[in-house]
Amino acid sequence: MSEDVKKFLYVNRKAPYGTIYAQESLEVVLIGAAFDQDVEMAFLDDGVFQLTKNQDTKGVGLKNFSPTFRALGDYEVTKLYVEQESLDERGLTLDDLQDIQYEDEDDDWAEKPSIRVVSRAEMGKIMANQDVVLSF
């Protein structure tokens, strides 16, 4: 990669359908990744609900965009950090989240999980390590 590649972290703090933030964030992530930037995502507070399994939006009349998270591996977005404390506070565990995988090019295309559950303290370090942090 050239020196112009910057590390971008998209921070998602909101539930998926109450506002447009979650869907817009995902759209920007896909566009950014298409431009060969180094893109990672973080999910905290109500943002952890974006990754939950079995979403059904019929009642709210909005498109269920949660399957799109599973396409992120195709765009080389392979690190989705989820904050442990945010899961705990909402009574959620890793089992409540979608199984999102990517193929590791450097390991004979082995399928590996994209979701990494990290502590609040680790999340702070991850954020400090970025060139650009965008909050949605």
Partner 1 sequence: MAAYDVNGTAVEHDEEGYITNLSDWTPELADVIAKAEEIEMDDERWAVVNFLREYYEEYQIAPAVRVLIKAIKKSMGPEVGNNKYMYELFPYGPAKQACKIAGLPKPTGCV
What is the contact surface with partner 1 in residues (CB under 8 A)?
27, 30-31, 34, 63-65, 67-68, 70-71, 74-75
Nearest distance from C-beta of residue 91 to partner 1, angstroms:
27
DSSP string for 43-70: E-GGGGGGGBSS---GGGT----GGGGG
Indicate the residue among 21 and 65 with the shorter CB distance to partner 1: 65
CA dist 77 and 73 (Å) reads: 5
Indicate the residue among 35 and 121 with the shorter CB distance to partner 1: 35
Indicate the residue among 31 and 132 with the shorter CB distance to partner 1: 31
Nearest distance from C-beta of residue 92 to partner 1, angstroms:
23
**The two structure tokens encoding residue 130:** 């970025």
Q: Please name which of 34, 13, 9 lies closest in space to residue 22, comparing C-alpha atoms.
A: 13
Indicate the residue among 71 and 132 with the shorter CB distance to partner 1: 71
Nearest distance from C-beta of residue 82 to partner 1, angstroms:
20
Range 24-59 burial, b when 16+ CB lie within 10 A, else e: ebbeebbebbeeebbbbbbbbbbbbbbbeeeeeeee
Nearest distance from C-beta of residue 77 to partner 1, angstroms:
12
